[in-house]
Chain A
Amino acid sequence: MGCVESMNYEILLKNGSFKECRDYVLKNFSEHLDVQPGFRLFDMHVIGVPPIAIGLEGDFIIFPFTKPCHGTFLLRVEDTAEAARLRALKK
């Protein structure tokens, strides 16, 4: 997921477990969708324990990002087009 480094992201949770990230999304974002591992988000494939919760808040996308040495981070990235694409998948 090399592209994450080039994104303007905000870290909502860091060095956490995957479950903590999922619980955070479900608790704090009324709008979300569940996807399977390998789901394409931006130009990467999402890693996680299914179902993976991706939050939506306006044009912001909230998603888990796992690194082998640092656990799972929950990131918040603004992307109007990708948020619209995700909303379309919910219908």
Chain B
Amino acid sequence: MTGETDQAKTALLVLGCPQVPVQTSIALYLLNRLKKAGIVPVIAGNKAANTLLVVADPDRHYLGEVMDLDRAIALISEKKRDFTLCFVFIHNDAGVTYAATMNAISQAKIYPVIYGEHYEDLVNQIDFGCTKIAAKAVHNPLPLKKGIDEVAPWAA
């Protein structure tokens, strides 16, 4: 297994459906903060979510490795790879499902990043031990950025 044992800390960012605008903005922000802290970030999402980031950062100032979400699930499930930290972007029931899955298959410290109109309902659905970052953010990323800054997961 590779990832966290002998080298720098790593972080997996599990992207949800990109229909809520703040996701791409917050993902780029988090990538920047993690990289500045010496943590190697990896993006895992579906094609649309990944493409939004790749197009926004063509010179890869923020992005490093980008992989398909199903492939990431497979690698972690088969114990071929794992990460130090895992951020799961959540704005619907599917996001909660992915967070629970990551909590079950990965040794990473899990940070659900919960946003959208119905973020409080989603927060209540997450009952495993983790550090939740949540805000009612749809178009304006600042409430969610504030939540991330308060937790400062890159310093943990």
Contact = CB atoms under 8 A, between A and B. Distances in A.
Interface in A49-67: 49-50, 66-67
Nearest to B89: A68
Contacts of A2: 70
A66 B70 CA distance: 11
A70 B94 CA distance: 8
B100 A49 contact: yes
B44 to A, nearest CB: 11
Contacts of A66: 94, 97-98
Interface string B59-78: 00000000001100110111
Interface residues of B, number: 26
- SS class, residues of chain A in contact with chain B: loop
B31 to A, nearest CB: 19
B41 interface: no
Given A18-B93, A18-B96, A70-B94, A38 B105 contact: yes
A45 B105 CA distance: 10
Contacts of B16: 68
B98 A36 contact: no
Interface of A: 1-2, 16-18, 36-38, 40, 44-45, 47-50, 66-72
